């Protein structure tokens, strides 16, 4: 267990908070061999091989996970394909009802889910709760909008009365969902929910570090009434097992790094199957001169340090107007110093641990590189082994320049660079710098101006007077990246349509689309031209 006593340091109030004995009891059952075995039996595995996983909360061993081979992946797809045929015949109302039951199951069992998420990822409990909320929101949104997105739709036929045309939404078949470790529950489940709604089955390959949460999610799907076989889970190293998923899937929903996304896109292109790629970012926040400085500083703390910065939509670049720069920096730094850090299941933690040594190494390297090249640390800057093996302080840097690694490369940790700007045009231009385009945030009292500026920012989501939650929590709004932050969108209509083929069915009545009653092709062309002119006059599409 990590040291939980209050610690002194540059941040002042760095208390991990004592362990709640009630949660220690929960931890004991989380590590109970029977409980773990109940979850891991869902992994399709015939290899006899296992891989150990440890918790970032104190480095405690959590489980030995059965590993899948490419042959197991093929078996998972075979099972999913069989199950999908029957599933696709169920009614949309039945599938929506299962989603609504899932909504209740995850809310009812949130304590267990949150405990497991924290054990596996080391994040703060409040960040784990948001995963539960996001699954519930997603399930409810797609259940309630199922008919709007998926019902067969009548469209104008070639000729009124004669041609009756409609468009069906046909499921793709079996969708591969490959997910990262940073949001163990929501990333493992949420992309799959609209796939199920549309009549597909899923083969899920969650990240190796967070399999138990993904397996608990799969168990909850079954509890909610989804047939067990339509959600298969495989486990193992990304290139081998993830690659085998991409080799079999009818569509791939991938969330992870840009490098892996690119490899998956190539593999999908070879097979001519579609994919959605939710990738990395280097997200900018703009604080305009008319911003409410305290609101912006409070927003910046959440924008930068939620989930210890291991959040695709969190901010790593902060551009602040000259006029408010000093006041904003004072407020932001003092709020950051007041944060409570720790690796614990306790609600009192504001910012939790990084997930792994690898993450800690990247964050440490980015900060050390920046400092060595002349950046100034306004607060933070150090690992905190006294609080947990992978805890790193929330860190604010000034004077970051283009030669530093953290300037344009995603850190994916609790580190932000502050920059001053003189004009809004310059701020937008600098926000649009670089390769990524995932999420942006604008703080201003003039929300109309904020919305206008948003249109010029090349990011898939832009939040005004909020960091990321406003767009991410608006399930009707598509979410995804421009440029190297991805392809395709989750959420909204696009989030479910990606899992369907549109199929057009037209019925021709009374007259054929061809010359009739011995009419020559020449006369037919004249009649047709007259008809086209008439339809145009009538304003037909
Ligand atoms: P990663 O690309 O290393 O791994 C993601 C998943 O892909 C894991 O399950 C992994 O096992 C698997 N994988 C790895 N190589 C593979 C391959 N060759 N073929 C198939 N699967 C493979 O990413 P990560 O480090 O786990 O996640 C962090 C990254 O994810 C960050 O860049 C972050 O910004 C991004 N992310 C993006 C979003 C979004 O919505 N845009 C959300 C969360 C995380």
Per-residue pLDDT tens for 357-380? Answer: 999 999 999 999 999 999 999 999
Q: In sequence order, what DSSP letters do the residues of 369-423 get, joined into one string?
A: HHHHTT-EEEE---B-TTT-TT-B--EEEES--TTSHHHHS---SSEEEEEEESS
Check if 71-279+493-500 and 283-475 are the same fold. Answer: no
How far does residue 402's CA lie from ligand 1's centre (Å)?
26
Q: What is the CATH number of domain 71-279+493-500?
A: 3.40.605.10
Q: What is the CATH number of domain 283-475?
A: 3.40.309.10
Does the pLDDT value for residue 425 go beyond 90?
A: yes
Task: Over range 462-467, report the average pLDDT.
Answer: 97
d(CA 483, CA 489): 13
How far does residue 255's CA lie from ligand 1's centre (Å)?
5
Per-residue pLDDT tens for 44-92? Answer: 999 999 999 999 998 888 889 999 999 999 999 999 999 999 999 999 9
Of 184, 213, 238, 314, the residue with max ligand 1 atoms within 8 A of its CB, to mutate for a pocket test, comes to 238
Choose, from 190, 268, 312, 406, the residue flagged as catalytic: 312
Does the pLDDT value for residue 470 go beyond 60?
A: yes
pLDDT of residue 31: 60
Residue 333's closest CA among 17, 10, 8, 16? 10
Active-site residue, 190 included:
no
As beta bridge partners, residue 233 has 43, 204
* Ligand 1 pocket check for 243: Cβ under 6 Å: yes
Does the pLDDT value for residue 11 go beyond 70?
A: no
What burial class does residue 363 get, using C-beta atoms within 10 Å of its C-beta: 0-12 exposed, 13-18 middle, 19+ buried?
buried
pLDDT of residue 60: 84
Nearest CA to ligand 1 atom 40: 278
Structure tokens at 189: 């489940």
pTM of the model: 0.93
How far does residue 258's CA lie from ligand 1's centre (Å)?
8
* Ligand 1 pocket check for 96: Cβ under 6 Å: no
Domain ranges for the chain: 71-279+493-500, 283-475, 514-541
* Ligand 1 pocket check for 179: Cβ under 6 Å: yes
Does the pLDDT value for residue 478 go beyond 90?
A: yes
* Ligand 1 pocket check for 410: Cβ under 6 Å: yes
* Ligand 1 pocket check for 184: Cβ under 6 Å: no
By mean pLDDT, which of 175-179, 190-194, 335-339, 534-538 is the weakest? 534-538
Of 256, 412, 440, 472, the residue with max ligand 1 atoms within 8 A of its CB, to mutate for a pocket test, comes to 256
């Amino acid at each position: 267990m990590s040291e939980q006593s209050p610690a002194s340091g540059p941040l002042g109030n760095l208390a991990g908070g004592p362990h709640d004995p009630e949660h220690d009891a929960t931890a004991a059952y989380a590590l109970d061999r029977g409980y773990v075995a109940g979850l891991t039996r869902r992994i399709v595995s015939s290899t006899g091989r296992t891989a150990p996983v440890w918790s970032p909360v104190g480095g405690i061993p959590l489980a030995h996970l059965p590993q899948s081979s490419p042959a197991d992946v093929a078996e998972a797809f075979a099972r999913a394909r069989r199950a999908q045929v029957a599933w696709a015949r169920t009614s949309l109302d039945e599938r929506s009802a299962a989603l609504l039951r899932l909504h209740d199951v995850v809310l009812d069992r949130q304590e267990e889910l949150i405990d497991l998420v924290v054990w596996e990822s080391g994040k703060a409990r409040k960040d784990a709760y948001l995963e539960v909320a996001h699954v519930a929101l997603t399930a409810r949104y797609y259940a309630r909008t199922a008919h709007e997105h998926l019902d067969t739709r009548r469209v104008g036929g070639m000729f009124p009365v004669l041609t009756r045309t409609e468009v069906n939404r046909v499921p793709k078949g079996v969708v591969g969902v490959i997910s990262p470790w940073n949001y163990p529950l929501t990333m493992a489940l949420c992309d799959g929910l609209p796939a199920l709604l549309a009549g597909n089955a899923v083969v899920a390959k969650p990240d190796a570090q967070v399999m138990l949460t993904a397996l608990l999610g799969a168990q909850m799907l079954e509890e909610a009434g989804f047939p067990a076989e339509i959600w298969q889970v495989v486990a193992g190293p990304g290139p081998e097992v993830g690659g085998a998923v991409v080799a079999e899937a009818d569509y791939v929903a991938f969330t992870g790094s840009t490098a892996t996304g690119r490899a998956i896109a190539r593999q999908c292109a070879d097979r001519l199957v579609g994919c959605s790629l939710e990738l990395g970012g280097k997200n900018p926040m703009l604080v305009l001169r008319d911003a409410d400085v305290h609101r912006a500083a409070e927003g910046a703390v959440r924008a930068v340090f939620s989930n210890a910065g291991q959040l695709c939509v969190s901010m790593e670049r902060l551009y602040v107007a000259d006029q408010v720069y000093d006041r904003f920096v004072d407020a932001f730094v003092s709020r950051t110093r007041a944060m409570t850090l720790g690796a614990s299941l306790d609600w009192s933690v504001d910012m939790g641990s990084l997930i792994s040594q690898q993450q800690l190494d990247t964050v440490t390297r980015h900060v050390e590189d920046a400092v060595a090249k002349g950046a100034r640390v306004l607060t933070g800057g150090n690992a905190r082994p006294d609080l947990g093996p992978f805890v790193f302080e929330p860190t604010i840097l000034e004077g970051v320049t283009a030669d530093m690694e953290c300037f344009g490369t995603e850190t994916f940790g609790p580190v932000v660079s502050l920059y001053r700007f003189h004009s809004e045009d310059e701020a937008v231009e600098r926000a649009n710098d670089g390769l990524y385009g995932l999420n942006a945030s604008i703080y201003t009292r003039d929300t109309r101006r904020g919305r206008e500026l948003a249109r010029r920012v090349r990011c898939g989501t832009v939040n005004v007077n909020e960091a990321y939650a406003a767009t991410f929590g608006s399930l009707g709004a598509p979410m995804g990246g421009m440029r190297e932050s991805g392809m395709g969108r989750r959420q909204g209509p696009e989030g479910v349509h990606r899992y369907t083929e549109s199929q057009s069915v037209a019925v021709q009545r009374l007259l054929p689309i061809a010359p009739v009653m011995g009419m020559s092709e020449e006369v037919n062309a004249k009649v047709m031209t007259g008809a086209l002119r008439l339809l145009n006059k009538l304003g037909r599409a």
